A and B are shown apart, each in its own frame.
Chain A
Amino acid sequence: MYSSKILFGLAGLCMVTTNLHAEIRTINFNPAISFILDGRFNRYSNKTDYQLPGFMLGGEASRGEQGLHLGHNELSMSANIDDLFYGKLTAAIADHEAETQVELEEAFIGTRGLGYGLSVKAGRFFSDIGYLNNQHAHVWDFTDAPLIYRGLFGNQIKDDGLQITWLAPTEFYLKVGVEVMRGSLYPAAGASRDGQGARSLFLKFGGDVGTNHAWQLGLSHWNADIAGRQAGSHAHDAVTEIPTFTGSSDVNGIDIVWKWSPHGNSSERYLKIQAEYFTRDETGNVNMVGSSPLETTTYSGEQSGWYTQAVYQFIPRWRIGFRYDRLQAANNGSDTDVLTEAGLTTNGHSPSRSTLMLDYSRSEFSRIRLQYAQDDSYQDADNIFTVQYTMALGAHGAHKF
């Protein structure tokens, strides 16, 4: 009597539940499309060209233009492809030297639910080393990247490649990941090792302490064989001699983030503290390409740096933040003059910067920020005042911790 009731009930309910499974699937057809709009105003007190002694600046590394200008606008689309794969594309649209360029920031596929805690990602994506590296500029707590990210990575490392991560079956969070990348995008260059020029390894731990605190700690390693990495941001045309590095590069880093909110409820108030520290060793040679006769030097560089920042939401919609950056470099080579021309000598100057910001987010989709920085990147100190809006229209995906 029990069994027939159960079987009958089961049969009926299984039919109902199967239909529900199907219904959920159909919702996923349309890609989530969003557009990030970003505009700024900058005022510098120091009108000389920006430098970061001891570091070759490349990629997106720059102080940004003065006055009113567009920042980083990007279009992003993501969707599930089928029951195993999802995909994402982000195209940044920016003006460089009065020319509008579309840059492919991200174009990757990933797996959902491969099993055994494994995930695979392939295509172009931001490396998951560090804490800030995989975060889009529009979610940053400050208008610009930390100095160590600017100096080592040209803001962020992104490249074409493959990533495999494993979420360990532990009671607390432990993720291990490896990446193999092409090695053609800054700070790598030249797609060495037959287009597998860069690789990385990282570990992330995290957990809660009671209901009010959550934390994450990361350890990262990145190395690359680099062939012909050029310094200077991609908006250089008048420079006829371009410092170019070929050799090997090894980066190690540690990152930590700590978040507090009352009862774990971040809608009223919360505090977020983070810090990252990276060191880099490079060995090879630096040529001043375009010089005749060719100016060259061997190069053995050790750079390191860290930043720490605290952001506090003191009432809903309003946040205040403070960040401190500090960098060191000790670069040696056979020809000190060439090293100096390449920007790799420091004359004992250790770049540092202090930044204060205040932002207002009317909703989770719009933000307006005021920022002030005392920038001692190089000998001429700078006072930088910035106003920025950054807003998202369309579907706006959730953000990571």
Chain B
Amino acid sequence: MIKILTAIVAGLTLTTSVIADVRVFTCEPEWKSLVQELGGDRIKAFSATNAYQDPHRIEARPSLIAKLRHADLLICSGADLEAGWLPVLLQQAANAKVLPGKAGYFEASQVVTLLEKPEKVDRSMGDVHTAGNPHLHLDPHRISQVAKALSARLVEIDPEGTAIYYQQYKDFHQRWHQAIQRWQQRAKPLKGKRVVVYHRNWPYLLDWLGVQRVGTLEPKPGLPTTAGHLTKLKQQLLDQPADMIIHTAYQNPRAAKRLSTLTGIHIVELPYTVGGSDEVFDLFSLFDITLKQLLSAIK
């Protein structure tokens, strides 16, 4: 038995490739896109989740453990978004570089101010994040803040790439701020509009656009819609209607469709993150397509 095991382990170890790039493990696809903008050819990024997965409900499965073991830098949203799987992943991956507190651990929520910080928290309130709402990537200004801190972190862990990181950041920063101007111009018609959401993924986007959330399909965060709750929402919306119902690519549209039938309000599926639709392949197209979808619903 022991001879067989030694042979297997020896054989597999010899097939490992030699790594020259900075290996980045990101929890969500938006951070993969961002670090690719900032790191260029010097980094190789991997995203643990895709746009069709609920980031709250991921398992620390073997393929993720193996990927994190090799990582030089871990980027996650934080604020307990990944509390269901990241701690186990860190424990199993046995990688000292990416533990909380080390330079290789980067939590986006630590470098921005968060919205929706609850004053008191109790499990009866549903799945509430105690530090505030962690879905922060849908505000381009916050992405800008994260980009600045992330670029500095890349320099810290890979000082040899400083010149490249500086250039990439300068380039991204310029394009990003030009894009923000364009988006803010395009988004003017959305100001003051009213939406119903499925889960509270959207406060940062809505806050940036001046759009108001008037209802949530989940009666409490993390709990699925109930018939009673739909009836209550329908009543509320008949008095004060909304302009659209929005949901992500990973959320089942069943409840949204039911509400739409009851109230006649249109449903809009938003990409939510990079990869959420065929047209969304980076952060720029994420906001381009999101705005396109939102604007088409109010025409």
Contacts and interface: CB of A to CB of B under 8 A. Distances in A.
B88 A399 contact: yes
B90 interface: yes
Nearest to A315: B224
B171 interface: no
A47 interface: no
B5 A169 contact: no
Contacts of A317: 224
B20 interface: no
Interface in A115-166: 115, 117-119, 165
B83 interface: yes
B91 interface: yes
A112 B90 contact: yes
A21 B88 contact: no
A171 B59 contact: no
Contacts of A98: none
A135 to B, nearest CB: 12
Interface string A16-28: 1100111111001
Contacts of B123: 363, 365, 393
B97 A206 contact: no
A115 B16 CA distance: 17
Interface string A203-245: 1111110010011100101000000000000000000000000
B205 to A, nearest CB: 21
B99 A201 contact: no
Given A211-B50, A263-B53, A398-B84, A23 B62 contact: no
Interface stretch (B32-40, B151-159, B178-186, B284-292): B151-159
Given A169-B69, A259-B61, A365-B123, 15 more contacts: A14-B152, A20-B149, A83-B99, A83-B101, A113-B96, A117-B69, A172-B66, A208-B61, A211-B52, A215-B62, A259-B59, A265-B54, A316-B224, A398-B60, A399-B59
Question: Top 8 closest A-B pairs, CB basis?
Answer: A206-B62, A113-B96, A13-B152, A173-B62, A263-B52, A173-B66, A208-B63, A398-B88
Interface of A: 2, 5-6, 9-10, 13-14, 16-17, 20-25, 28, 83, 86, 110, 112-115, 117-119, 165, 167-174, 176, 201, 203-208, 211, 214-216, 219, 221, 252, 259, 262-268, 316-317, 362-365, 393, 397-401
